[in-house]
Amino acid sequence: MNELPAHAHVVTGEGVMNGTVIVDGDRIAGIEETSGEPDGWVIPGFIDTHTHGGGGYSFTGGNAEQARQAAAFHASRGTTTVMASLVSGSQDFLLEATKNLKPLYDDGTIMGVHYEGPYISPERRGAHDPSVLRDPSVEEAKQLMAAADGSAKMMTVAPELNGAVETIEYLASQGVVVALGHTDATWEQTVDGMDAGAIVATHLCNAMRPFKHRDPGPIPALLDDERTISEVIADPVHLHHGTMQFIFDTALPTWVHLVSDAMDAAGLDDGSYKLGNLDVDVEDGTARTKDGAIAGSTITLLDAFRNAVHLGKQSVPAASAMASEVPAETFGLTDVGTIDPGKRADLLVLDNDLELKGVMRAGEWLDAA
């Protein structure tokens, strides 16, 4: 595929038009309405704000060349904007990884760095090394912000931990998106975290205290608060399709991000891999640590988008918004996320079965995997 369809369903920031997208250089020049039977879809490039790796490459080691290859893999599958998500580690490691990834933020390879830990609950740690988990620290956060020099974009925090509220307040004051996750918080502690400035739920339902009618915990608090956007890993490993539908119908597309939570095995065969310091086995596409915890996913955001349509019963425009427009708004990305004149030409071409036919990033066609 080396040209945009002459007549397709085009998902714009204002709705769906039937026509063709006009590109001038690296910009979207406009959308020209045409007549005839639409041939597939043109949607905005995906924005994945929670990604640990893919294609055999990892963000979690803080290695710049690995990170470039991971970003290239996801771009080939339609994710034209990607966050590098680290897992819990020592402060020295996180500082070093942050410095190593900073050049990739500066040149636009990644949209920033996400720290998924170490300020998370040992009881809900999932595939995080328990030896490095600790209470939130404003002083440590200040050190990370200095090392990041603007590239730190999100941190996951369990709001029930000592020092969490103060750390959330500090991070929010620095323009960092704070996410609540890997948490054993009560409903009240979750609300305290949102009141302190947290605005995202890290992979809602997963690695969280489960909902009970007399002990609701974080899930209904996060779903019910319009200040908070919920990440959803849309695959049948992390969420039953009925749970997916419930979240989508309750939160509506405007309060949901689709994320992959992909680790380096995404796009590869079953086998043995690493997530941070932990050994991971992938069997039938499901990644688990040796003690049985789910260790991220092996999907891409393209898979999540299609699952949102086929399993979550969402329309193509709604699923597209959850994979592009909503994350762009959450992170203040004004140049991407929708197909509108003047924005960067990040475009995906899909056939009527939602198979990927072409990926354009900044006006250039990529080799789609």
Provide the token pair at 28.
Answer: 């979207």
Which residues, 6 or more positions from 162, have their beta carbon under 8 angstroms from its beta carbon? Answer: 135, 136
Q: Is it true that the peptide bond before 118 is cis, omega within 30 degrees of 0?
A: yes
Q: Is 192 among the residues known to form the active site?
A: no
Per the CB < 8 A criterion, the answer to whether 128 and 87 are in contact is: yes
Query: 48, 261, 303, 346: which one is catalytic?
Result: 261
Q: Rounded CA gap, 147 and 141, in Å?
A: 10
Catalytic residues: 261
